[in-house]
């Protein structure tokens, strides 16, 4: 019997590889890219994980994120990275 955590770790490695490949394509209209992102999102949600879309750089990508019902996102479309003190007034 295979340990469930080993299966998850293998699946995560597979998905990380798929994400890297999809990101290199960078064509969100590409069916393979879309299906890869959808599969990753579905897998994560099915195991009870929250999904955060990264590298949201423009409105076109944000529309894809909304279409896939991904609740959280981050990227240059919203803001460039900032120091914590910029958000909290020097705390």
Q: Please give the Cα distance from 22 to 26 (Å, whole number).
A: 6
Confidence of residue 1 (pLDDT cuts 50, 70, 90): very low
CB 59, CB 77: distance < 8 Å? yes
pLDDT tens digits, 8-67: 666 666 666 666 665 555 666 778 778 878 888 888 888 887 888 887 888 888 888 898
Collect contacts of 31-34 with beta carbons under 8 A, ≥24 apart: 34/64
pTM of the predicted model over 0.85: no
Domain ranges of the chain: 4-88
């Amino acid at each position: 019997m295979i340990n469930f955590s080993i299966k998850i770790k293998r699946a995560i490695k597979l998905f990380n590889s798929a994400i890297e490949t999809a990101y290199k394509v960078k064509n969100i209209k590409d069916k393979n890219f879309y299906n890869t992102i959808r599969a990753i999102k579905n897998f994560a949600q099915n195991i009870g994980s929250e999904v955060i879309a990264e590298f949201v750089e423009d409105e076109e990508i944000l529309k894809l994120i909304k279409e896939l019902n991904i609740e959280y996102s981050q990227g240059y479309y919203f803001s460039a990275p900032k120091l914590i003190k910029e958000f909290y007034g020097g705390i």
